[in-house]
A and B are shown apart, each in its own frame.
Chain A
Protein backbone atom coordinates (compact mmCIF):
# COMPACT_ATOMS: atom_id res chain seq x y z
CA UNK A 1 0.00 0.00 0.00
CA UNK A 2 2.70 2.41 1.05
CA UNK A 3 4.75 1.50 -1.97
CA UNK A 4 1.79 2.05 -4.27
CA UNK A 5 1.18 5.51 -2.79
CA UNK A 6 4.82 6.43 -3.22
CA UNK A 7 4.72 5.35 -6.84
CA UNK A 8 1.54 7.34 -7.43
CA UNK A 9 3.14 10.41 -5.85
CA UNK A 10 6.23 10.07 -8.02
CA UNK A 11 4.08 9.62 -11.13
CA UNK A 12 2.10 12.75 -10.34
CA UNK A 13 5.29 14.74 -9.82
CA UNK A 14 6.48 13.54 -13.22
CA UNK A 15 3.15 14.54 -14.76
CA UNK A 16 3.54 17.95 -13.16
CA UNK A 17 7.05 18.20 -14.59
CA UNK A 18 5.75 17.39 -18.07
CA UNK A 19 3.06 20.01 -17.63
CA UNK A 20 5.66 22.61 -16.59
CA UNK A 21 7.79 21.64 -19.57
CA UNK A 22 4.79 22.15 -21.85
CA UNK A 23 3.70 25.37 -20.13
CA UNK A 24 7.19 26.78 -20.25
CA UNK A 25 7.30 26.76 -24.02
CA UNK A 26 3.63 27.10 -25.00
CA UNK A 27 2.00 29.46 -22.50
CA UNK A 28 2.27 33.22 -22.92
CA UNK A 29 4.18 35.37 -20.45
CA UNK A 30 1.01 36.40 -18.62
CA UNK A 31 -0.12 32.84 -17.98
CA UNK A 32 3.35 31.75 -16.91
CA UNK A 33 3.49 34.61 -14.47
CA UNK A 34 0.18 33.63 -12.90
CA UNK A 35 1.34 30.03 -12.56
CA UNK A 36 4.51 31.27 -10.89
CA UNK A 37 2.45 33.36 -8.50
CA UNK A 38 0.27 30.33 -7.70
CA UNK A 39 3.32 28.31 -6.71
CA UNK A 40 4.81 31.16 -4.69
CA UNK A 41 1.55 31.73 -2.85
CA UNK A 42 1.46 28.01 -2.13
CA UNK A 43 4.84 28.30 -0.43
CA UNK A 44 3.77 31.39 1.49
CA UNK A 45 0.42 29.90 2.49
CA UNK A 46 2.00 26.68 3.72
CA UNK A 47 4.61 28.54 5.74
CA UNK A 48 1.93 30.64 7.39
CA UNK A 49 -0.29 27.63 7.93
CA UNK A 50 2.48 25.90 9.87
CA UNK A 51 2.53 28.80 12.34
CA UNK A 52 -1.15 29.75 12.43
CA UNK A 53 -2.94 26.54 11.55
CA UNK A 54 -0.81 23.75 12.94
CA UNK A 55 0.78 25.42 15.94
CA UNK A 56 -2.17 27.71 16.65
CA UNK A 57 -0.09 30.86 16.95
CA UNK A 58 -2.07 33.76 15.56
CA UNK A 59 0.87 35.50 13.92
CA UNK A 60 0.51 38.37 11.46
CA UNK A 61 4.15 39.17 10.80
CA UNK A 62 4.43 37.25 7.57
CA UNK A 63 4.98 40.21 5.27
CA UNK A 64 7.95 41.19 7.42
CA UNK A 65 9.60 37.78 7.00
CA UNK A 66 8.93 37.92 3.27
CA UNK A 67 10.53 41.35 3.10
CA UNK A 68 13.65 40.05 4.85
CA UNK A 69 13.87 37.13 2.43
CA UNK A 70 13.14 39.20 -0.65
CA UNK A 71 15.72 41.88 0.18
CA UNK A 72 18.41 39.38 1.15
CA UNK A 73 17.93 37.38 -2.03
CA UNK A 74 17.78 40.49 -4.19
CA UNK A 75 20.90 42.06 -2.69
CA UNK A 76 22.86 38.84 -3.08
CA UNK A 77 21.84 38.11 -6.67
CA UNK A 78 21.92 41.59 -8.22
CA UNK A 79 24.78 42.30 -10.57
CA UNK A 80 27.38 44.85 -9.49
CA UNK A 81 26.31 47.20 -12.27
CA UNK A 82 22.68 47.07 -11.15
CA UNK A 83 23.72 47.72 -7.58
CA UNK A 84 25.65 50.77 -8.60
CA UNK A 85 22.69 52.04 -10.62
CA UNK A 86 20.30 51.57 -7.70
CA UNK A 87 22.36 53.07 -4.93
CA UNK A 88 22.93 56.58 -6.21
CA UNK A 89 21.80 58.33 -3.03
CA UNK A 90 24.18 56.46 -0.76
CA UNK A 91 26.59 53.69 -1.72
CA UNK A 92 25.81 50.12 -0.65
CA UNK A 93 27.60 48.91 2.49
CA UNK A 94 30.88 47.02 2.27
CA UNK A 95 30.48 43.26 1.74
CA UNK A 96 27.25 43.50 -0.25
CA UNK A 97 28.62 45.87 -2.88
CA UNK A 98 31.20 43.41 -4.17
CA UNK A 99 29.48 40.03 -4.07
CA UNK A 100 27.14 38.31 -6.49
CA UNK A 101 25.81 34.92 -5.48
CA UNK A 102 23.99 32.34 -7.56
CA UNK A 103 20.23 32.09 -7.12
CA UNK A 104 19.82 29.01 -4.91
CA UNK A 105 22.31 29.97 -2.18
CA UNK A 106 20.81 33.46 -2.16
CA UNK A 107 17.32 32.07 -1.67
CA UNK A 108 18.56 29.88 1.19
CA UNK A 109 20.35 32.86 2.70
CA UNK A 110 17.11 34.83 2.45
CA UNK A 111 15.25 32.05 4.23
CA UNK A 112 17.88 31.74 6.95
CA UNK A 113 17.91 35.48 7.46
CA UNK A 114 14.12 35.49 7.86
CA UNK A 115 14.37 32.60 10.33
CA UNK A 116 16.99 34.53 12.29
CA UNK A 117 14.72 37.58 12.42
CA UNK A 118 11.88 35.30 13.54
CA UNK A 119 14.12 34.04 16.33
CA UNK A 120 14.76 37.60 17.49
CA UNK A 121 11.09 38.58 17.27
CA UNK A 122 9.94 35.31 18.80
CA UNK A 123 11.95 35.73 21.97
CA UNK A 124 9.64 38.44 23.32
CA UNK A 125 6.52 37.93 21.17
CA UNK A 126 6.00 34.20 21.65
CA UNK A 127 5.48 34.72 25.35
CA UNK A 128 2.18 36.33 24.40
CA UNK A 129 -0.98 34.47 23.52
CA UNK A 130 -3.89 34.83 21.13
CA UNK A 131 -4.82 38.33 20.05
CA UNK A 132 -1.88 39.85 21.88
CA UNK A 133 0.51 37.76 19.84
CA UNK A 134 -1.30 38.87 16.67
CA UNK A 135 -0.89 42.53 17.56
CA UNK A 136 2.76 42.12 18.57
CA UNK A 137 3.72 40.25 15.40
CA UNK A 138 1.77 42.71 13.27
CA UNK A 139 3.78 45.47 14.93
CA UNK A 140 7.07 43.68 14.34
CA UNK A 141 6.17 43.16 10.69
CA UNK A 142 5.61 46.87 10.31
CA UNK A 143 8.82 47.67 12.19
CA UNK A 144 10.78 45.58 9.70
CA UNK A 145 9.22 47.54 6.86
CA UNK A 146 9.95 50.88 8.51
CA UNK A 147 13.55 49.86 9.15
CA UNK A 148 13.90 48.90 5.49
CA UNK A 149 12.52 52.29 4.47
CA UNK A 150 15.17 54.05 6.51
CA UNK A 151 18.33 52.04 5.92
CA UNK A 152 19.29 53.83 2.73
CA UNK A 153 22.72 52.26 2.38
CA UNK A 154 21.49 48.68 2.69
CA UNK A 155 18.00 48.52 1.23
CA UNK A 156 18.02 51.72 -0.79
CA UNK A 157 15.16 52.97 1.39
CA UNK A 158 11.86 53.97 -0.15
CA UNK A 159 13.33 53.86 -3.65
CA UNK A 160 13.37 50.10 -3.51
CA UNK A 161 15.51 47.81 -5.63
CA UNK A 162 15.19 47.57 -9.38
CA UNK A 163 16.83 45.27 -11.86
CA UNK A 164 16.75 42.12 -9.75
CA UNK A 165 17.77 39.30 -12.10
CA UNK A 166 14.65 37.36 -12.98
CA UNK A 167 15.79 33.87 -12.11
CA UNK A 168 12.35 32.70 -11.00
CA UNK A 169 10.79 30.46 -13.59
CA UNK A 170 8.26 27.66 -13.40
CA UNK A 171 10.94 25.12 -12.54
CA UNK A 172 12.18 27.11 -9.58
CA UNK A 173 8.79 28.09 -8.20
CA UNK A 174 7.15 24.68 -8.59
CA UNK A 175 10.29 22.86 -7.54
CA UNK A 176 10.54 24.83 -4.32
CA UNK A 177 6.80 24.54 -3.75
CA UNK A 178 7.11 20.74 -3.94
CA UNK A 179 10.10 20.73 -1.60
CA UNK A 180 8.11 22.90 0.82
CA UNK A 181 5.15 20.53 0.69
CA UNK A 182 7.35 17.49 1.31
CA UNK A 183 9.30 19.08 4.16
CA UNK A 184 6.23 20.46 5.89
CA UNK A 185 4.25 17.22 5.56
CA UNK A 186 7.18 15.34 7.01
CA UNK A 187 7.47 17.83 9.86
CA UNK A 188 3.75 17.87 10.64
CA UNK A 189 3.57 14.10 10.82
CA UNK A 190 6.65 13.79 13.01
CA UNK A 191 6.82 13.87 16.77
CA UNK A 192 7.56 17.58 16.59
CA UNK A 193 4.48 18.13 14.46
CA UNK A 194 2.36 16.31 17.01
CA UNK A 195 3.82 18.55 19.70
CA UNK A 196 2.82 21.61 17.61
CA UNK A 197 -0.72 20.29 17.30
CA UNK A 198 -0.81 19.60 21.04
CA UNK A 199 0.10 23.23 21.67
CA UNK A 200 -2.70 24.29 19.34
CA UNK A 201 -5.23 22.04 21.06
CA UNK A 202 -4.43 22.87 24.66
CA UNK A 203 -1.36 24.75 25.83
CA UNK A 204 -1.75 23.87 29.49
CA UNK A 205 -2.15 20.17 28.82
CA UNK A 206 0.74 20.23 26.34
CA UNK A 207 3.00 21.83 28.90
CA UNK A 208 2.12 19.31 31.56
CA UNK A 209 2.85 16.53 29.08
CA UNK A 210 6.44 17.74 29.09
CA UNK A 211 6.41 19.89 25.96
CA UNK A 212 8.57 22.97 26.29
CA UNK A 213 6.14 25.55 24.92
CA UNK A 214 8.61 28.27 24.11
CA UNK A 215 11.07 25.98 22.36
CA UNK A 216 8.43 24.37 20.18
CA UNK A 217 6.71 27.63 19.35
CA UNK A 218 10.09 29.07 18.34
CA UNK A 219 10.87 26.09 16.12
CA UNK A 220 7.54 26.40 14.34
CA UNK A 221 7.88 30.16 14.03
CA UNK A 222 11.40 29.92 12.59
CA UNK A 223 10.62 27.17 10.09
CA UNK A 224 7.55 29.11 8.97
CA UNK A 225 9.63 32.26 8.62
CA UNK A 226 12.30 30.37 6.67
CA UNK A 227 9.83 29.37 3.97
CA UNK A 228 8.26 32.83 4.03
CA UNK A 229 11.73 34.23 3.35
CA UNK A 230 12.30 31.81 0.48
CA UNK A 231 8.87 32.67 -0.93
CA UNK A 232 9.67 36.36 -0.63
CA UNK A 233 12.96 35.82 -2.46
CA UNK A 234 11.18 34.03 -5.30
CA UNK A 235 8.57 36.75 -5.50
CA UNK A 236 11.18 39.52 -5.63
CA UNK A 237 13.03 37.73 -8.38
CA UNK A 238 9.80 37.15 -10.32
CA UNK A 239 8.74 40.80 -10.15
CA UNK A 240 12.24 42.17 -10.77
CA UNK A 241 11.63 45.09 -8.46
CA UNK A 242 10.80 45.41 -4.77
CA UNK A 243 10.18 48.29 -2.42
CA UNK A 244 9.15 48.46 1.24
CA UNK A 245 5.56 49.45 0.42
CA UNK A 246 5.02 46.06 -1.18
CA UNK A 247 5.32 44.40 2.21
CA UNK A 248 2.51 46.16 3.99
CA UNK A 249 0.24 44.13 6.22
CA UNK A 250 -2.21 43.79 3.34
CA UNK A 251 0.13 41.17 1.94
CA UNK A 252 -0.09 39.23 5.22
CA UNK A 253 -3.87 39.34 4.98
CA UNK A 254 -3.80 37.98 1.44
CA UNK A 255 -1.94 34.94 2.72
CA UNK A 256 -4.15 34.68 5.78
CA UNK A 257 -7.11 34.65 3.40
CA UNK A 258 -5.61 31.73 1.51
CA UNK A 259 -5.15 29.62 4.62
CA UNK A 260 -8.50 30.49 6.16
CA UNK A 261 -10.32 29.60 2.95
CA UNK A 262 -8.31 26.46 2.42
CA UNK A 263 -8.68 25.22 5.97
CA UNK A 264 -6.51 26.24 8.89
CA UNK A 265 -4.81 22.92 9.35
CA UNK A 266 -4.84 21.36 5.93
CA UNK A 267 -1.88 21.30 3.59
CA UNK A 268 -4.14 20.21 0.73
CA UNK A 269 -6.57 23.03 1.42
CA UNK A 270 -3.82 25.63 1.37
CA UNK A 271 -2.50 24.40 -1.98
CA UNK A 272 -5.95 24.37 -3.59
CA UNK A 273 -6.84 27.73 -2.15
CA UNK A 274 -3.54 29.34 -3.21
CA UNK A 275 -4.24 28.34 -6.81
CA UNK A 276 -7.94 29.20 -6.73
CA UNK A 277 -7.47 32.63 -5.19
CA UNK A 278 -4.53 33.63 -7.35
CA UNK A 279 -6.28 32.56 -10.53
CA UNK A 280 -9.67 33.95 -9.47
CA UNK A 281 -8.17 37.37 -8.87
CA UNK A 282 -7.01 37.37 -12.49
CA UNK A 283 -10.08 35.75 -14.01
CA UNK A 284 -12.38 38.27 -12.36
CA UNK A 285 -10.42 41.11 -13.94
CA UNK A 286 -13.03 41.48 -16.71
CA UNK A 287 -15.36 42.96 -14.09
CA UNK A 288 -13.23 46.08 -13.94
CA UNK A 289 -13.47 46.61 -17.67
CA UNK A 290 -16.34 48.27 -19.55
CA UNK A 291 -19.18 45.79 -19.88
CA UNK A 292 -21.75 45.92 -22.65
CA UNK A 293 -25.23 45.08 -21.38
CA UNK A 294 -26.85 45.79 -24.71
CA UNK A 295 -28.62 48.93 -23.58
CA UNK A 296 -25.62 50.58 -22.03
CA UNK A 297 -21.90 50.16 -21.53
CA UNK A 298 -21.09 50.21 -17.84
CA UNK A 299 -17.72 50.42 -16.23
CA UNK A 300 -17.49 50.10 -12.46
CA UNK A 301 -13.90 50.22 -11.31
CA UNK A 302 -13.39 48.08 -8.23
CA UNK A 303 -16.29 45.76 -8.98
CA UNK A 304 -13.79 42.91 -9.14
CA UNK A 305 -12.93 43.28 -5.48
CA UNK A 306 -16.62 43.61 -4.54
CA UNK A 307 -17.48 40.33 -6.26
CA UNK A 308 -14.37 38.73 -4.86
CA UNK A 309 -15.31 39.77 -1.33
CA UNK A 310 -18.85 38.51 -1.82
CA UNK A 311 -17.49 35.14 -2.96
CA UNK A 312 -15.30 35.02 0.13
CA UNK A 313 -18.26 35.71 2.35
CA UNK A 314 -20.22 32.89 0.74
CA UNK A 315 -17.36 30.48 1.30
CA UNK A 316 -16.88 31.54 4.90
CA UNK A 317 -20.62 31.30 5.59
CA UNK A 318 -21.07 27.85 4.14
CA UNK A 319 -17.70 26.28 4.82
CA UNK A 320 -16.97 27.44 8.34
CA UNK A 321 -13.70 25.53 8.55
CA UNK A 322 -12.50 26.42 5.09
CA UNK A 323 -12.71 24.19 2.05
CA UNK A 324 -10.84 21.28 3.57
CA UNK A 325 -11.03 21.91 7.32
CA UNK A 326 -8.30 19.75 8.70
CA UNK A 327 -8.73 16.97 6.15
CA UNK A 328 -5.94 15.98 3.82
CA UNK A 329 -5.75 14.45 0.43
CA UNK A 330 -4.61 10.85 0.35
CA UNK A 331 -4.34 8.32 -2.43
CA UNK A 332 -6.30 5.77 -0.39
CA UNK A 333 -9.32 8.05 -0.16
CA UNK A 334 -9.14 8.93 -3.85
CA UNK A 335 -8.99 5.31 -4.88
CA UNK A 336 -11.86 4.44 -2.56
CA UNK A 337 -13.90 7.17 -4.21
CA UNK A 338 -13.48 5.60 -7.65
CA UNK A 339 -13.76 2.04 -6.48
CA UNK A 340 -17.46 1.71 -5.89
CA UNK A 341 -17.71 -1.64 -4.22
CA UNK A 342 -21.34 -2.65 -3.69
CA UNK A 343 -20.38 -5.59 -1.49
CA UNK A 344 -18.82 -3.55 1.29
CA UNK A 345 -21.68 -4.11 3.69
CA UNK A 346 -21.20 -7.41 5.38
CA UNK A 347 -18.63 -8.49 2.83
CA UNK A 348 -14.91 -8.23 2.73
CA UNK A 349 -13.53 -4.88 1.75
Chain B
Protein backbone atom coordinates (compact mmCIF):
# COMPACT_ATOMS: atom_id res chain seq x y z
CA UNK B 1 0.00 0.00 0.00
CA UNK B 2 1.23 3.46 -0.79
CA UNK B 3 2.03 5.81 2.06
CA UNK B 4 0.42 8.85 0.48
CA UNK B 5 -2.06 8.83 -2.32
CA UNK B 6 -3.67 11.77 -4.07
CA UNK B 7 -6.66 10.80 -6.13
CA UNK B 8 -7.65 13.20 -8.89
CA UNK B 9 -7.12 16.32 -6.79
CA UNK B 10 -8.13 19.55 -8.47
CA UNK B 11 -7.77 23.12 -7.29
CA UNK B 12 -9.72 25.91 -8.89
CA UNK B 13 -9.35 29.58 -8.02
CA UNK B 14 -12.46 31.08 -9.58
CA UNK B 15 -12.14 30.36 -13.26
CA UNK B 16 -8.51 29.34 -13.09
CA UNK B 17 -7.70 25.68 -12.66
CA UNK B 18 -4.31 25.69 -10.97
CA UNK B 19 -4.04 21.93 -10.65
CA UNK B 20 -6.17 19.56 -12.65
CA UNK B 21 -6.80 15.91 -11.70
CA UNK B 22 -3.42 15.40 -10.10
CA UNK B 23 -2.64 11.83 -9.09
CA UNK B 24 0.23 10.96 -6.83
CA UNK B 25 1.50 7.86 -5.14
CA UNK B 26 4.32 7.92 -2.64
CA UNK B 27 5.78 4.64 -1.49
CA UNK B 28 7.82 4.27 1.66
CA UNK B 29 11.43 5.43 1.50
CA UNK B 30 11.15 6.84 -1.99
CA UNK B 31 12.34 10.23 -3.10
CA UNK B 32 9.82 11.68 -5.48
CA UNK B 33 10.28 14.98 -7.29
CA UNK B 34 7.73 17.31 -8.76
CA UNK B 35 9.02 19.53 -11.55
CA UNK B 36 7.55 21.87 -14.08
CA UNK B 37 7.88 25.41 -15.43
CA UNK B 38 6.98 28.42 -13.29
CA UNK B 39 3.28 28.70 -12.55
CA UNK B 40 2.66 25.05 -13.33
CA UNK B 41 0.85 24.50 -10.03
CA UNK B 42 3.55 22.66 -8.10
CA UNK B 43 3.25 24.67 -4.90
CA UNK B 44 -0.53 24.52 -5.15
CA UNK B 45 -0.32 20.74 -5.22
CA UNK B 46 1.89 20.93 -2.12
CA UNK B 47 -0.53 23.22 -0.38
CA UNK B 48 -3.39 20.83 -0.99
CA UNK B 49 -1.48 17.92 0.48
CA UNK B 50 -0.45 19.91 3.57
CA UNK B 51 -3.94 21.28 4.14
CA UNK B 52 -3.27 24.94 3.35
CA UNK B 53 -5.83 24.64 0.56
CA UNK B 54 -8.86 22.41 0.53
CA UNK B 55 -8.99 20.73 -2.90
CA UNK B 56 -11.98 21.62 -5.04
CA UNK B 57 -12.26 18.00 -6.08
CA UNK B 58 -10.55 14.74 -5.25
CA UNK B 59 -9.28 12.95 -2.15
CA UNK B 60 -5.98 12.59 -0.39
CA UNK B 61 -5.16 9.47 1.60
CA UNK B 62 -2.34 9.10 4.10
CA UNK B 63 -1.69 5.52 5.21
CA UNK B 64 -5.10 4.66 3.84
CA UNK B 65 -6.85 7.36 5.90
CA UNK B 66 -8.71 10.18 4.19
CA UNK B 67 -7.02 13.44 5.17
CA UNK B 68 -8.73 15.75 2.68
CA UNK B 69 -9.82 19.01 4.29
CA UNK B 70 -7.93 18.59 7.56
CA UNK B 71 -6.17 21.64 9.00
CA UNK B 72 -2.40 21.99 8.40
CA UNK B 73 -1.61 21.38 12.07
CA UNK B 74 -3.66 18.17 12.07
CA UNK B 75 -1.89 16.93 8.97
CA UNK B 76 1.49 17.73 10.51
CA UNK B 77 0.64 15.81 13.64
CA UNK B 78 -0.27 12.80 11.50
CA UNK B 79 3.27 12.79 10.10
CA UNK B 80 3.56 15.03 7.07
CA UNK B 81 5.99 17.93 7.53
CA UNK B 82 7.02 20.57 5.06
CA UNK B 83 9.39 23.40 4.31
CA UNK B 84 8.63 26.53 2.35
CA UNK B 85 9.81 27.96 -0.94
CA UNK B 86 10.73 31.27 0.69
CA UNK B 87 12.25 30.33 4.03
CA UNK B 88 9.79 30.80 6.87
CA UNK B 89 11.78 30.56 10.05
CA UNK B 90 10.70 32.20 13.29
CA UNK B 91 13.20 34.96 12.68
CA UNK B 92 13.40 36.64 16.07
CA UNK B 93 13.81 33.35 17.91
CA UNK B 94 16.93 31.30 18.41
CA UNK B 95 17.84 28.21 16.40
CA UNK B 96 17.02 25.99 19.37
CA UNK B 97 13.67 27.68 19.95
CA UNK B 98 12.76 27.13 16.31
CA UNK B 99 13.23 23.42 16.75
CA UNK B 100 11.56 23.38 20.17
CA UNK B 101 8.43 24.92 18.69
CA UNK B 102 8.16 22.02 16.28
CA UNK B 103 8.15 19.74 19.33
CA UNK B 104 5.16 21.52 20.82
CA UNK B 105 2.65 19.28 19.05
CA UNK B 106 3.77 16.37 21.22
CA UNK B 107 3.23 18.25 24.49
CA UNK B 108 0.50 16.54 26.48
CA UNK B 109 0.51 18.84 29.52
CA UNK B 110 -2.05 21.60 29.51
CA UNK B 111 -1.27 25.27 29.88
CA UNK B 112 -1.73 25.30 33.67
CA UNK B 113 0.74 22.48 34.13
CA UNK B 114 3.14 24.54 32.03
CA UNK B 115 2.61 27.76 34.01
CA UNK B 116 2.99 26.12 37.41
CA UNK B 117 5.84 23.92 36.20
CA UNK B 118 4.21 20.69 37.38
CA UNK B 119 6.27 17.47 37.15
CA UNK B 120 4.68 16.12 33.97
CA UNK B 121 5.40 19.32 32.09
CA UNK B 122 8.95 19.62 33.43
CA UNK B 123 9.66 16.10 32.26
CA UNK B 124 8.32 16.86 28.81
CA UNK B 125 10.27 20.11 28.62
CA UNK B 126 13.49 18.37 29.58
CA UNK B 127 13.14 15.59 27.04
CA UNK B 128 12.09 18.14 24.41
CA UNK B 129 15.25 20.14 24.93
CA UNK B 130 17.59 17.17 24.90
CA UNK B 131 15.89 15.79 21.79
CA UNK B 132 16.17 19.11 20.00
CA UNK B 133 19.84 19.55 20.86
CA UNK B 134 20.49 16.02 19.64
CA UNK B 135 18.69 16.77 16.38
CA UNK B 136 20.65 19.98 15.87
CA UNK B 137 23.89 18.11 16.46
CA UNK B 138 22.86 15.53 13.89
CA UNK B 139 22.19 18.10 11.18
CA UNK B 140 25.35 20.03 11.99
CA UNK B 141 23.81 23.10 13.63
CA UNK B 142 24.79 22.15 17.16
CA UNK B 143 27.22 25.03 17.69
CA UNK B 144 24.71 27.59 16.51
CA UNK B 145 21.82 26.66 18.78
CA UNK B 146 21.70 29.94 20.71
CA UNK B 147 22.11 32.15 17.63
CA UNK B 148 19.18 34.14 16.33
CA UNK B 149 17.81 32.13 13.41
CA UNK B 150 17.77 35.06 11.00
CA UNK B 151 21.48 35.64 11.58
CA UNK B 152 22.43 32.31 9.99
CA UNK B 153 23.77 32.22 6.42
CA UNK B 154 21.30 31.22 3.74
CA UNK B 155 22.34 27.60 3.37
CA UNK B 156 22.20 27.07 7.13
CA UNK B 157 18.76 28.63 7.29
CA UNK B 158 17.55 26.07 4.76
CA UNK B 159 19.11 23.33 6.81
CA UNK B 160 17.46 24.66 9.97
CA UNK B 161 14.09 24.75 8.22
CA UNK B 162 14.51 21.10 7.31
CA UNK B 163 15.64 20.29 10.86
CA UNK B 164 12.59 22.06 12.22
CA UNK B 165 10.35 19.96 9.98
CA UNK B 166 12.19 16.82 11.14
CA UNK B 167 11.48 17.73 14.76
CA UNK B 168 7.78 17.03 14.20
CA UNK B 169 8.68 13.34 13.67
CA UNK B 170 7.38 13.12 10.11
CA UNK B 171 6.96 10.03 7.99
CA UNK B 172 6.85 12.14 4.86
CA UNK B 173 8.91 15.26 4.34
CA UNK B 174 7.77 17.74 1.71
CA UNK B 175 10.48 20.09 0.48
CA UNK B 176 9.46 23.11 -1.56
CA UNK B 177 12.46 24.10 -3.69
CA UNK B 178 15.12 23.32 -1.09
CA UNK B 179 17.95 24.31 -3.42
CA UNK B 180 16.46 27.63 -4.55
CA UNK B 181 19.06 30.38 -4.57
CA UNK B 182 21.94 28.11 -3.65
CA UNK B 183 25.36 28.07 -5.26
CA UNK B 184 26.70 24.80 -6.74
CA UNK B 185 28.63 23.93 -3.58
CA UNK B 186 25.63 24.46 -1.33
CA UNK B 187 23.47 22.50 -3.76
CA UNK B 188 25.83 19.57 -3.59
CA UNK B 189 25.86 19.68 0.21
CA UNK B 190 22.09 19.79 0.23
CA UNK B 191 21.77 16.79 -2.07
CA UNK B 192 23.90 14.65 0.19
CA UNK B 193 22.12 16.07 3.23
CA UNK B 194 18.75 15.00 1.86
CA UNK B 195 20.05 11.50 1.17
CA UNK B 196 21.51 11.37 4.66
CA UNK B 197 18.37 12.37 6.53
CA UNK B 198 16.30 10.04 4.42
CA UNK B 199 18.34 7.12 5.74
CA UNK B 200 18.72 8.44 9.28
CA UNK B 201 15.09 9.29 9.87
CA UNK B 202 13.53 6.61 7.69
CA UNK B 203 11.77 9.19 5.56
CA UNK B 204 9.81 9.38 2.38
CA UNK B 205 10.59 12.60 0.55
CA UNK B 206 8.47 14.53 -1.88
CA UNK B 207 10.08 17.65 -3.28
CA UNK B 208 9.63 20.43 -5.72
CA UNK B 209 12.89 21.41 -7.33
CA UNK B 210 14.23 23.28 -10.32
CA UNK B 211 17.85 22.23 -10.05
CA UNK B 212 18.01 19.29 -12.44
CA UNK B 213 21.26 18.02 -10.88
CA UNK B 214 19.44 17.55 -7.60
CA UNK B 215 16.31 16.09 -9.15
CA UNK B 216 17.99 13.67 -11.52
CA UNK B 217 20.60 12.70 -8.96
CA UNK B 218 18.42 11.54 -6.11
CA UNK B 219 14.83 10.95 -7.13
CA UNK B 220 13.27 7.58 -7.81
CA UNK B 221 10.21 8.97 -9.53
CA UNK B 222 9.57 12.32 -11.16
CA UNK B 223 6.24 13.97 -11.88
CA UNK B 224 6.05 16.80 -14.40
CA UNK B 225 3.34 19.42 -14.20
CA UNK B 226 2.55 22.00 -16.86
CA UNK B 227 -0.40 24.38 -16.59
CA UNK B 228 -1.85 22.20 -13.85
CA UNK B 229 -1.80 19.04 -15.92
CA UNK B 230 0.46 16.08 -15.24
CA UNK B 231 2.26 15.68 -18.56
CA UNK B 232 4.64 12.94 -17.56
CA UNK B 233 5.72 10.68 -14.75
CA UNK B 234 8.42 8.13 -14.48
CA UNK B 235 12.06 7.48 -13.70
CA UNK B 236 14.65 10.24 -14.28
CA UNK B 237 15.75 8.50 -17.47
CA UNK B 238 12.22 8.40 -18.89
CA UNK B 239 11.65 12.04 -18.09
CA UNK B 240 14.87 13.18 -19.71
CA UNK B 241 13.80 11.58 -22.95
CA UNK B 242 10.14 12.50 -22.85
CA UNK B 243 9.18 14.67 -25.83
CA UNK B 244 6.35 16.44 -23.98
CA UNK B 245 8.64 17.44 -21.14
CA UNK B 246 11.22 18.83 -23.49
CA UNK B 247 8.51 20.82 -25.24
CA UNK B 248 7.16 22.19 -21.98
CA UNK B 249 10.60 23.37 -20.90
CA UNK B 250 12.11 24.43 -24.19
CA UNK B 251 9.09 25.14 -26.37
CA UNK B 252 8.14 23.69 -29.74
CA UNK B 253 9.93 24.67 -32.90
CA UNK B 254 7.68 26.35 -35.47
CA UNK B 255 8.54 23.79 -38.15
CA UNK B 256 7.24 20.90 -36.06
CA UNK B 257 4.07 22.58 -34.93
Chain A: residues with CB nearer than 8 A to chain B? 183, 186-187, 190-192, 194-195, 197-198, 201-202, 204-213, 219, 223, 326
Contact = CB atoms under 8 A, between A and B. Distances in A.
Nearest to B116: A186
Given A186-B116, A190-B114, A209 B168 contact: yes
The majority secondary structure among interface residues of chain B is helix
State the 5 A-B residue pairs at the shortest beta-carbon distance, nearest first.
A210-B105, A201-B90, A190-B114, A205-B88, A210-B76
A269 B100 CA distance: 26
Contacts of B10: none
A205 B89 contact: yes
A210 B168 CA distance: 8
A320 to B, nearest CB: 15
Given A197-B93, A211-B105, A191 B72 contact: no
6 contacts: A190-B111, A190-B114, A206-B101, A208-B76, A209-B164, A210-B102
Contacts of B134: none
Interface in B57-91: 71-73, 76-77, 81-82, 84, 88-91
Contact of B90 (A186, A187, A197): A197
A194 B92 contact: no
A219 B114 CA distance: 12
A212 B100 contact: no
Contacts of A202: 88-91
Nearest to B92: A201
B124 interface: yes
Given A191-B128, A209-B76, A326 B117 contact: no
Interface of B: 50, 52, 71-73, 76-77, 81-82, 84, 88-93, 97, 100-105, 107, 111, 114-117, 121, 124-125, 128, 164-165, 168
Given A204-B88, A205-B84, A208-B72, A191 B104 contact: yes
Contacts of A197: 90, 92-93, 97, 101
Given A186-B115, A197-B93, A210-B102, A191 B124 contact: yes
Contacts of B90: 197-198, 201-202, 205-206
B114 A194 contact: no
A209 B105 contact: yes
Nearest to A215: B73
Given A191-B100, A191-B107, A207 B115 contact: no
Nearest to B91: A201
A91 B77 CA distance: 54
A208 B77 CA distance: 9
A9 to B, nearest CB: 15
Contacts of A208: 50, 52, 72-73, 76, 81-82, 84
Nearest to B75: A208
A294 to B, nearest CB: 53
A202 B97 CA distance: 14
A213 B101 CA distance: 13
Contacts of B91: 201-202
Contacts of B101: 194-195, 197-198, 206, 209, 211
